[in-house]
Amino acid sequence: MNKQIKIIALLAVLIFTGCEEKPIGKITKNTYNLKSKMDLRLKAYPEAVEWYDDSSSYPEAAFNLGNFYVEKLKDYKKAIIWYKRAYEKGYIDSANNIGTVYEDLKDYNKAVEWYIIASNAKVNHAPNNAGYLYKRELKDYKKAIKWYKIGIERVHYQQKE
């Protein structure tokens, strides 16, 4: 069933965007180049291989790979790479996840930096994550209160809508 949905989606994309050929230079830069660099650990997980194949076109696939590296492989540096790819392709929730990975790596300055980026992009949990990090690890209570207030205001504003 899942493959049928993908086939239908692919056909729809081809119909609506046209089926033009791309120059070899662009192809080697995307799919074929990615395939040769695939992390061999992914081959044991069919869903990870599928996300890898889709990652150049779909930011959600790159985001899923970031989650996969955190949860299954515990490779936080690779997770950051994939979350950043998803973020660069417009998947803004990735910024918050980058912050959490940096926090796990105890790089609190980079974690806060990414929580602020995520907060500015209106990612819901980011202000609270920044506040909690300022309180717990950085012991900067003024900044913690500032970010908690931003989180509260955001929730309050969303409830009014």
Distance CA 89, CA 94 (A): 10
End-to-end CA distance of the chain: 37
Helices (H) and strands (E) in the chain, counts: 10, 0
Name which of 53, 59, 61 is nearest 89 in CA terms: 59
Q: What is the pTM of this model?
A: 0.73
User: Are the CB atoms for 48 and 65 separated by under 8 Å?
Assistant: yes
Which tens digits make up the pLDDT trace of 127-152? 999 999 999 999 999 999 999 999 99
Would you say domain 92-161 falls under CATH 1.25.40.10? yes
Which tens digits make up the pLDDT trace of 80-106? 999 999 999 999 999 999 999 999 999
User: Are the CB atoms for 80 and 93 separated by under 8 Å?
Assistant: no
**Which DSSP category does 138 fall into?**
S
Residue indicated by tokens 């959600």: 60
